[in-house]
Amino acid sequence: IKGLDLTTIREEFPVLDQQVNGKPLVYFDNAATTQKPKAVIDSLVSYYSSYNANIHRGIHTLAEKATAAFESTREAIRAFINASSTEEIIFTKGTTESINLVAATWGKENIHKGDEIIVSGLEHHSNMVPWQILAAEKGAIVKIIPVNANGELILSDLNNLITDKTKIIALNHVSNALGTINPIAEVIKIAHSKNVKVLIDGAQAVSHLDIDVQKLDADFYAFSGHKMYGPTGIGILYGKKALLEEMPPYQGGGEMIKEVTYASCSFNELPYKFEAGTPNIADAIALKASVDFINKFGKQAIREVENQLLEYATQKLSAIPGLTIKGTAKEKVSVISFVIEGIHHQDLGILLDQEGIAIRTGHHCTQPLMGHFGIPGTARASFAVYNTFEEIDRLEAGIKKAVKMLK
Ligand code: PMP
């Protein structure tokens, strides 16, 4: 592989150095969650073993240290996505909570009976169900941007889908099921020309693509720490300040208030208005180590490695008789979703696990998309910066062996 020094990168990931079912682990389930570099693990251990304290209100030294570390992640994330202010960076549990926050607050205020919400046909359930729930509550309608046979959005239909009832378009930057990179800049431009807001689900984009929320002009951008080499249980909602200011709070509790009396309360400033209760301090702090890890190489270099893996794997896998790759978009990240004639994806997944190879099988939380393709699910191999050509050779051999056994 050209570009980065893979040997040293792999050494940063302790989990990769192990045998699974008697074989060296091949981890190809990166779209579900990436592995964590030592720096992230060390950050968690260091927080809990040397400065664990609750943040923001404490005046003692540990509380000040924890607060500074927590807030320095907020600044690192601001820079990572080029938001204009840390007031626009809200800590959440993850992408799912970020999207639910917008549906429950912005949606509560702005979606009314007969209004329309547009989502794409490629959405993860977490960017579909919150809008369906909101629509049912409000008597609104959810419309779908259609998908072509390659797994790309049919954008020419978007102009017809948008009406004067359309309030928001919610779509992913990258499809988790297929790897398709969606033309979100174009969608945002079209939407804004019609005064429609746009929420981007960036869960699958953050570890692969450069993100500049100002250049994109995204209204909301949601993502999870655990898909960018960071911890689980921590995620981000970016929102434009003007929108966040108008939105009601998500949850009530400590931290999000300015003043409370027995009779009433007033709310804190951004971003704290949306961060009720003690946040996930440890994982927020460790998220900075994952941002630093990505920045150390740069997304460009990471993408070059991943593109080589994608190209190599696409060639190898598509040469296997009976195997069809689902999702052949021109613009893709390093995800290969596939089906094999006469073989259930789950059986394949179990046999590959016997070879120490971890892939994902199933509907990938995109049941509507699988329904569109007329299949119950796929097998999905997704690559990260620490994967190698040799591992792809093992996947190819593993699939061939499984096919022989199952047919
Ligand atoms: N959107 C996409 C595109 C995803 O891939 C995922 C995770 N599979 C999510 C949303 C949900 O993320 P989380 O489970 O971290 O909240």
CA 401 to ligand 1 center in whole angstroms: 32
Domain match, 88 and 231 both:
yes
pTM: 0.98
Atom of ligand 1 nearest to the CA of 365: 8
Is 176 within 8 Å of 124 (Cβ atoms)?
Answer: yes
Atom of ligand 1 nearest to the CA of 201: 1
Final residue in a domain of this structure, among 271, 295, 319: 295
Q: Is residue 1 part of a domain?
A: no
pLDDT at position 57 is 82
Is 145 within 8 Å of 118 (Cβ atoms)?
Answer: yes
The total number of structural domains that make up the chain: 2
Q: Is residue 126 part of a domain?
A: yes
387-400 pLDDT, tens per residue? 999 999 999 999 99
Residues with Cβ within 8 Å of residue 119, at least 6 apart in sequence: 127, 128, 131, 142, 143, 144, 145, 169, 170, 171
Q: State which H helix or E strand residue 213 sits in.
A: helix 213-216
Domain match, 360 and 393 both:
yes
Three-class DSSP category at 200: strand
pLDDT at position 1 is 81
List the CATH number of the domain containing 151. 3.40.640.10
Q: Which of 3-12, 84-93, 102-111, 157-166 has the lowest mean pLDDT?
A: 3-12
Q: Is residue 112 part of a domain?
A: yes
298-302 contacts, C-beta under 8 A, 24 or more apart = 299/208, 299/209, 299/210, 300/210, 301/3, 301/4, 302/4, 302/207, 302/208, 302/385
Which of the four pLDDT bands, split at 50, 70 and 90, describes residue 220? very high
> What is the pLDDT averaged over residues 376-389?
97
16-32 pLDDT, tens per residue? 999 999 999 999 999 99
Active-site amino acid positions: 365
Which residue has a Cα nearest atom 14 of ligand 1?
96
345-360 pLDDT, tens per residue? 999 999 999 999 999 9
pLDDT at position 53 is 97
Domain match, 229 and 291 both:
yes
Q: State which H helix or E strand residue 197 sits in.
A: strand 197-201
> What is the pLDDT averaged over residues 40-44?
98
Retrieve residue 286's tokens.
Answer: 């460790």
Three-class DSSP category at 329: coil
Atom of ligand 1 nearest to the CA of 32: 8
CA 32 to ligand 1 center in whole angstroms: 8
The amino acid sitting at 263 is A
Domain match, 274 and 306 both:
no
Tell which one of 30, 34, 96 to mutate to probe ligand 1, the residue whose CB is within 8 A of the most ligand atoms. Answer: 96
Looking at the chain, the whole-number percentage of residues with pLDDT higher than 90 is 97
Is 99 within 8 Å of 199 (Cβ atoms)?
Answer: yes
Domain match, 256 and 383 both:
no
CA 126 to ligand 1 center in whole angstroms: 7
Q: Is residue 35 part of a domain?
A: no
Which of the four pLDDT bands, split at 50, 70 and 90, describes residue 6? confident
pLDDT at position 208 is 98
The amino acid sitting at 302 is I
188-201 pLDDT, tens per residue? 999 999 999 999 99
Domain match, 140 and 264 both:
yes
Domain match, 290 and 303 both:
no
List the CATH number of the domain containing 370. 3.90.1150.10
Atom of ligand 1 nearest to the CA of 126: 10
pLDDT at position 231 is 98
The amino acid sitting at 208 is H
CA 33 to ligand 1 center in whole angstroms: 9
Residue listed under structure tokens 């800049």: 185
CA-to-CA distance for 340 and 118, rounded, in angstroms? 33
Q: How high is the ipTM of this complex?
A: 0.99
CA-to-CA distance for 6 and 245, rounded, in angstroms? 45
Q: Is residue 364 part of a domain?
A: yes
Domain match, 245 and 309 both:
no
Three-class DSSP category at 231: coil
Q: Encode burial over 150-189: b for 16+ CB neighbours within 10 A, e otherwise.
A: ebbbeeeebeeebeeebbbbbbbbbbbbbbbbbbbeebbe
Q: Output the DSSP codes for 259-324.
A: EE-SS-EEEPPTTGGG--SS--HHHHHHHHHHHHHHHHH-HHHHHHHHHHHHHHHHHHHHTSTTEE
CA-to-CA distance for 256 and 101, rounded, in angstroms? 14
Helices (H), 113-182: 129-138, 158-161
Partners of 143 in beta bridges: 118
Q: With 90 as the cut, is the pLDDT of residue 307 above it? A: yes
Tell which one of 97, 128, 176, 228 to mutate to probe ligand 1, the residue whose CB is within 8 A of the most ligand atoms. Answer: 176
pLDDT at position 377 is 97
Final residue in a domain of this structure, among 295, 323, 356: 295
In terms of DSSP bridges, do strands 116-120 and 141-145 run parallel, antiparallel, or are they unpaired?
Answer: parallel
Ligand 1 interacting residues, C-beta cut-off 6 A:
94-96, 124, 126-127, 172, 176, 201, 203-204, 224, 365
Taking alpha carbons only, the member of 328, 351, 352 closest to residue 338 is 328
Looking at the chain, the whole-number percentage of residues with pLDDT higher than 70 is 100
Domain match, 16 and 109 both:
no
Domain match, 26 and 61 both:
no
Per-residue DSSP letter, 102: H
252-292 pLDDT, tens per residue? 999 999 999 999 999 999 999 999 999 999 999 999 999 99
Domain match, 277 and 302 both:
no
CA dihedral 340, 342, 348, 349 (to 10 degrees): 80
Give me the domain span that covers residue 253: 41-295
CA 59 to ligand 1 center in whole angstroms: 37
Tell which one of 209, 224, 234, 367 to mutate to probe ligand 1, the residue whose CB is within 8 A of the most ligand atoms. Answer: 224
Taking alpha carbons only, the member of 314, 301, 236 closest to residue 275 is 236
If you average pLDDT over every residue of the chain, what do you get? 97
pLDDT at position 5 is 85
Domain match, 111 and 88 both:
yes
Residues with Cβ within 8 Å of residue 115, at least 6 apart in sequence: 138, 140, 141, 165, 166, 167
Final residue in a domain of this structure, among 295, 328, 359: 295
